[in-house]
C-alpha cells in the first residue's frame, strides 16, 4: 500500500513533460485494427517513441488474445512489471476491446514506467496526479 507521502509526491505532477509530440505514431495505433499483432507492433512503436522522448529505458510490449482471468468472472486489461507491459486484447467471448480502451490501458501502464524512470517516484500510485498525467499525455498525443 502506498504511503500518504508517496501519494502527495505523485500528486505534485499533474502533467507530463513536453508538449510537442509526433501524432503519427499515435494515429498508427489508433488505426491498427482489432487484431493482436498489428496492435502489438503499433503499441511497441508508440512506447519506444515515448521512451526515447523521455530518455528512459524501453519497455517490451506483450499483447495477448485471450481475456485475463475469465474463470473468476473479471478481466484484467493490462499490467506493468519490470519494464514489461502486458495487454489483453480480447474481452469475454473473444471480442476485441475498442481501440480507445486499448490505448487508454497502454498509456496507463506506460505511466507506471514514466513514474519510476522519469519522475523517479518511489512508488507509482493510482491517485489524482497519476490519472491527470495519463489524461495530459493522451491529449497531447491525440491533438
Q: DSSP readout, 14-78? A: -S-S-----HHHHHHHHTS-SSHHHHHHHHHHHHHHHHHHHT----EEEEESSPSSGGGT----E
pLDDT reported for residue 81: 95
- Average pLDDT rounded to a whole number, residues 1-22: 91
**Residue 69 grid cell:** 482471468
pLDDT per position as a tens digit, 61-118: 999 987 666 555 566 789 999 999 999 998 766 789 999 999 999 999 999 999 999 9
Q: Which helix (H) or strand (E) element contains residue 100?
A: helix 99-117
Task: Note the pLDDT tens digit of each residue in 23-38.
Answer: 999 999 999 999 999 9
Cβ atoms of 36 and 64 closer than 8 Å:
yes
3-state secondary structure of 130: helix
Model pTM score = 0.93
Amino acid at each position: 500500500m502506498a504511503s500518504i507521502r508517496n501519494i502527495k509526491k505523485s500528486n505534485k505532477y499533474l502533467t507530463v513533460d513536453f508538449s510537442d509530440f509526433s501524432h503519427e505514431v499515435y494515429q498508427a495505433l489508433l488505426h491498427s485494427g482489432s487484431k493482436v499483432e498489428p496492435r502489438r507492433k503499433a503499441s511497441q512503436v508508440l512506447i519506444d517513441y515515448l521512451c526515447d522522448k523521455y530518455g528512459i529505458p524501453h519497455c517490451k510490449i506483450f499483447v495477448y488474445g485471450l481475456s485475463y482471468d475469465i474463470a473468476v468472472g473479471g478481466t484484467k486489461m493490462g499490467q506493468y512489471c519490470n519494464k514489461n507491459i502486458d495487454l489483453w486484447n480480447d474481452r469475454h467471448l473473444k471480442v476485441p476491446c475498442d481501440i480507445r480502451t486499448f490505448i487508454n490501458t497502454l498509456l496507463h501502464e506506460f505511466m507506471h514506467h514514466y513514474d519510476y524512470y522519469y519522475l523517479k517516484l518511489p512508488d507509482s500510485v493510482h491517485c489524482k496526479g497519476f490519472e491527470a498525467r495519463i489524461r495530459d499525455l493522451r491529449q497531447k498525443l491525440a491533438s
